[in-house]
Amino acid sequence: MTKSPPARNRAPWLGSCVLLGLTALHAHAGDLGAPLQLIPLPASYQAVEGKDFAIGPATRVAGSDATSRRVASQFISLLKQNGGPTLAVSDKANKAQIRFHLDASVATGTEGYAVKVSSNGIDVSARDEAGLFYGAVTAAQLLTGDKTGQVAAATIEDAPRFGWRGFMLDSARHFQSIDEIKKLLDAMAQHKLNTFHWHLTDDQGWRMEIKRYPKLTEVGSCRVPLGDAGRNEETGEPRTYCGFYTQEQIREIVAYAAERHIRVIPEVDVPGHATAAIAAYPELGVTDQKLVIDNQWGVFPNLFNTEESTLQFLKNVLLEVIGMFPAEYVHVGGDEAVKDQWIASARVQADMRELGLKDEMEMQSHMIKRLEKFLEQHDRRLIGWDEILEGGLPPAATVMSWRGTEGGLKAASEGHDVVMSPVTHMYMDYLQTESPNEPPGRPTTITLQKAYEFEPVPAELAADKRSHILGLQANMFSEHTRNSRNLEHNLFPRLAAVAETGWSPQNKRDFESFRARLPRQLQRYQAMDIAYAKTPFQVDMSKKGDRIAGTAEVTLDNPLGYAVRYTLDGSEVTASSPLYNQPLQLKLPTEVRVAAFFDGKPLAAENRFQLTRDSLRIREDTQLGLCPNGGKLLLRLEDDGPAEGERAIFNVNIFNPCWLWPKADLRGVHRVKVRAGRIPYNFQLAGDEPARKFVPARSTHGEMDILANCEGKPLASVPLPANPAADGFLELEAPITGTDTPTDLCIRFTGDTRPNMWTLDRVELQMAD
């Protein structure tokens, strides 16, 4: 759309709430035997007799050798990042109060550490530098617990459950700056995550400089977005979206990560997700069709061809990749490679016959095996998404299981290493609450609790195969995540849940304990300037009412189950405000102010809801449901403009453009007024295209239909114009005859309107004048 719509009348975020001096709720503390201010939870924590240690003006930090001194300096930075005081390094270890030691006798093993706290100070020891660093992370959290700068006497012995504790960032769909990535690496380190999987190539962009093939970035790193974001408002000329990382920048990121004991694993997609590469070098493609860098999301048909020259191209690319990334693994994708082009290609079919391959999956497996052999020759291991299982898995390949855990179970049962990363629990671009304040995202809701409760080792996996589960990984695909603010919202605090699953012993994990430790972690996020999600800590409201009688029943809910308090008299919500425990029966008009509390402190700024008779006649798209007939693929989509700054957000079922107002009160209603907008239809759906449902248009540009119960003939229809107004929106009024019976009211748009689609913004039931 050309302009952003007016601000919506939704519960505003009123600013961050600084939480000071929280005392943890010690529920389950006796069972867990652990301090509730640490995330992830350590393997063993034991309180001991003795006085607390407290930081004072003379507190110094030191290491007993060069490695320990390096970690001691990092500890000072970690503590400051967490909001703690700034300490100084001492050259004399025996004069310091916080001491770091490398000690081969520490029994915690690789990446493990021990911490001892007494009135004389804190001692952190480990066998290796990584363990010492993770001990520093824990010490920094201890010193930013209930009482900043003060720690109870205790001993901790800790080591990770899994060796692969990963996070994948998609920089191909939307590009992040070097500083933004470094900030994420800092956050990973604070969560003891150790693997950064960097998704650098896809249909929508090639983000990694390959000097032998300069067009990969000259051509492949830019696209023209659809809609207003792709046009210069003043000149009408195309506006490009560009970005790539030079080899020097990549090495900088790899080194920055290594300092924090994070390995960086690059991904180069084969044979699908290849549009950007083929657009740069058309000879790599299967067809003669001229491609441009794609500006849509979804699954595309474009594959690399199977020629020997293309395999050599991929090897040459991988050779430069190996030179930039010293990690053991290289990810080669392998997912969502729709084989239609290969099936239709005489060249590919001839290659298959010559190689004795029975189908296209075996052709993909042949390519993957060739690349695995090449990587092995260069002391690297191949990892790919679970589709590489199909057609035969290379002997030493590692599988990243994303389509559930079944692929990982199969691979581990066959003796292959596996990283569990299922879309059902580990995809951070999925919405995390039902709140209307969630940013754009993909369908389904992965709550914080759902992410926390994921178990990477399937119960049905044989005991002698369980060591093949290397760990787990959270994935952040960025189609709908245009800026760093939304990126951080999607990641935090869910990444903390992933971190605890990857680190803590299975029998120590407990969501109630985790929930009690979160408020302190939020303070650390604030200190790190992380724009974590406020939605899990806010209060949502649903209402049903009688506008004729002027009454309403209001239900309040906090997604994480924290205590909800409210006021009805216009006053600020405090810890002494009424505690919500059942639906509120209210007279209209009224203002409901609400906030969630933990240990007497608000977890987020209060929300304010204005309830009037008129408000019962209005619903916005985020307050509507999906029509039950037809396919369902609900997305929370962003408007296509402006190019920079805030954009409107819409809930859209792209398989069936129909919205449902359940049990609408139509008493005295004479018209339905709809505010609608139009945005680009931004999706390629490959084999899912037949599932899309569009009611045929009955006029040139289609109609807006108003239906009762979403079936049968429309109660009213209004023809749609060729174009919306200059701001990208229009208002339509449809006359209807009101009824005394609550009615499931459906609003739909007819016709296949691609390359654009209509979206509903707001529905208003209007009374007779």
Residues acting as catalytic residues: 336
Nearest in space to 608 (alpha carbons), one of 589, 586, 593, 623: 593
Q: What is the largest CA-CA distance in the chain?
A: 86
Query: Distance of alpha carbon 151 from its chain centroid, rounded?
Result: 34
Burial (CB count within 10 angstroms: exposed 0-12, middle 13-18, buried 19+), residue 375:
buried
DSSP labels, 305-328: ---HHHHHHHHHHHHHHHHH--SS
Entry field: residues in the chain: 769
Residue type, 355: L
Alpha carbon distances (Å) from 423 to 428, 623, 713: 9, 26, 39
Residue type, 337: A
Q: How far apart are CA 554 and CA 543, in angstroms?
A: 5
Nearest in space to 8 (alpha carbons), one of 429, 620, 510, 507: 620
Residue pointed to by tokens 């994921």: 454
Q: How far apart are CA 317 and CA 375, in angstroms?
A: 12
Report how far apart the first and last C-alpha atoms of the chain are (Å, whole number).
Answer: 32
Burial (CB count within 10 angstroms: exposed 0-12, middle 13-18, buried 19+), residue 56:
exposed
Q: Tell me how crowded residue 136 is: count the other CB atoms within 10 A of its CB.
A: 28
Q: How far apart are CA 559 and CA 433, in angstroms?
A: 7
What letter does residue 151 receive in the DSSP assignment?
E
With contact defined as beta carbons under 8 Å apart, do 577 and 567 qualify?
A: yes
Q: Are strands 418-420 and 469-476 parallel, antiparallel or unpaired?
A: parallel
Q: Are strands 625-626 and 634-638 parallel, antiparallel or unpaired?
A: unpaired
> Which value, in Å, is the radius of gyration of the alpha carbons in the chain?
28
Nearest in space to 494 (alpha carbons), one of 529, 477, 524, 518: 518
Is residue 243 left, alpha or beta, with left meaning phi > 0 and alpha meaning psi from -120 to 50?
A: left
Residue type, 646: E
Angle at the Cα of 522 (from 517 to 525), degrees rounded to 5? 130
| Three-state SS at 761 | strand
Nearest in space to 2 (alpha carbons), one of 705, 472, 642: 642
Residues 6+ away with beta carbon under 8 Å from 25: 36, 516, 598, 599
Alpha carbon distances (Å) from 526 to 146, 218, 378, 530, 594: 16, 39, 43, 6, 22
What letter does residue 338 receive in the DSSP assignment?
-
Cis-peptide into 493, omega within 30 deg = yes
Q: How far apart are CA 226 and CA 230, in angstroms?
A: 5
With contact defined as beta carbons under 8 Å apart, do 299 and 684 qualify?
A: yes
The token pair that represents 107 in the structure block: 């029994």
Residue type, 725: A
Q: Are strands 329-333 and 381-385 parallel, antiparallel or unpaired?
A: parallel
Angle at the Cα of 346 (from 340 to 348), degrees rounded to 5? 65
Q: How far apart are CA 304 and CA 237, in angstroms?
A: 32
Alpha carbon distances (Å) from 47 to 57, 154, 736: 26, 4, 70
Q: How far apart are CA 634 and CA 622, in angstroms?
A: 11
